[in-house]
Structure 1
């Protein structure tokens, strides 16, 4: 673990489209919460990675096994009474429901930003299997996090430290309210 915390350690899914900062913000939020971070991309079956790398968007049949792995990973951590932050696009409500079916206490942190900001971020990174050409398909798929889904929508048009501080404050309050 990256740190020790006496606070309630929540199970958090940092969600959003490619380029929103899931890995960066997720890693920093996990550190502040004193829990482990997992990049959900590392949990994709190889078939999914190959499909995305070829420029083909995933369909629901591709996503279900991945979402099951994400949910089980969170569930296992919750069973150990430890928190975790995991980055997972979770673009549709039914995907979040699938995750929550295995990890009912999971909170969602939706990183939300403009197309211009997202495109600039995607084009500025290297070594990632998700090409900028697939951003529009993700935006078309995205069902923004609804208030009743147990999460928080975070505007990514601010500094990283401000985003992390806002997210950690809100997630701690939500976890405390749910305990």
Structure 2
């Protein structure tokens, strides 16, 4: 079985972790042991300290984290068939890097995209996360949504949608991505 990693991508505040649960349930018949990894838990302490202090991460801060996310999710997919990981994957070069690190695993990037206004509204309600609304400008500045020629990628718009609507859209897009192979 070809190991598959579904990367729920996008800026903070788009609902990546919330959507993961429905994907696990949806794929449980074919992948009963599929796992979810919250990519933020793989950040090194220096990155967490930086973000907690309100300092956005740069590329140099992200490479080691992205390698860990890629290799850990790939190893999990090899063991269980499917791994779902929440990881911002904001730039194309980050997505390419993850694919290159684990060429024997297929990475599917599902971007949850919301307007700045929607994401800021959601983040203002969060209190237990190190990513605060004032750091979002850097994420939107770095955001490179996938183009149609980027393999195994799709975008799900979240503005003005309920969580069940977003989850349904994601489920449909993932089914379509899997059918491409």
Distance (Å, rounded) in 1 between the aligned partners of 2:36 and 2:77 = 14
Q: How many residues are paired up?
A: 171
- State the Cα distance separating 1:170 from its structure 2 match: 1.8
Q: Any idea what SS the aligned residue of 1:144 has?
A: coil
Q: Which runs of 4+ in 1 moved over 3 A?
A: none
Distance (Å, rounded) in 2 between the aligned partners of 1:87 and 1:122 = 16
Gapped regions of structure 2 (runs ≥ 5): 29-33
Q: Which residue in the other structure is 1:164 paired with?
A: 167
- State the Cα distance separating 1:125 from its structure 2 match: 0.9
- State the Cα distance separating 1:102 from its structure 2 match: 2.7
1:30 to 2:29 alignment: no
Question: What TM-score comes out, normalization by structure 2 length?
Answer: 0.88
Distance (Å, rounded) in 1 between the aligned partners of 2:3 and 2:100 = 19
Q: Which residue in the other structure is 2:31 paired with?
A: none
Q: Which residue in the other structure is 1:130 paired with?
A: 131
1:9 and 1:175 in contact (8 A); partners too: no
Gapped regions of structure 1 (runs ≥ 5): 1-7
- State the Cα distance separating 1:115 from its structure 2 match: 1.0
- State the Cα distance separating 1:56 from its structure 2 match: 0.6
Q: Which residue in the other structure is 1:71 paired with?
A: 70
Structural mapping, 1:101-140, within 5 Å: 101-104=100-103, 105-140=106-141
Q: Which residue in the other structure is 1:20 paired with?
A: 14
Kindly report the root-mean-square deviation, in angstroms, between the aligned alpha carbons of the 2 structures: 1.6
Question: What TM-score comes out, normalization by structure 1 length?
Answer: 0.89
Alpha-carbon displacement from aligned partner over 1:33-52 (angstroms, at most 9, x marks no partner): 22321110001111100000
Distance (Å, rounded) in 2 between the aligned partners of 1:93 and 1:168 = 23
Q: Which residue in the other structure is 1:3 paired with?
A: none
2:35 and 2:76 in contact (8 A); partners too: no
1:75 and 1:102 in contact (8 A); partners too: no
CA distance change for structure 1 residues 175 and 9 in 2, over 3 Å: closer, same or farther?
farther
Q: Any idea what SS the aligned residue of 1:80 has?
A: helix
Q: Which residue in the other structure is 1:147 paired with?
A: 148
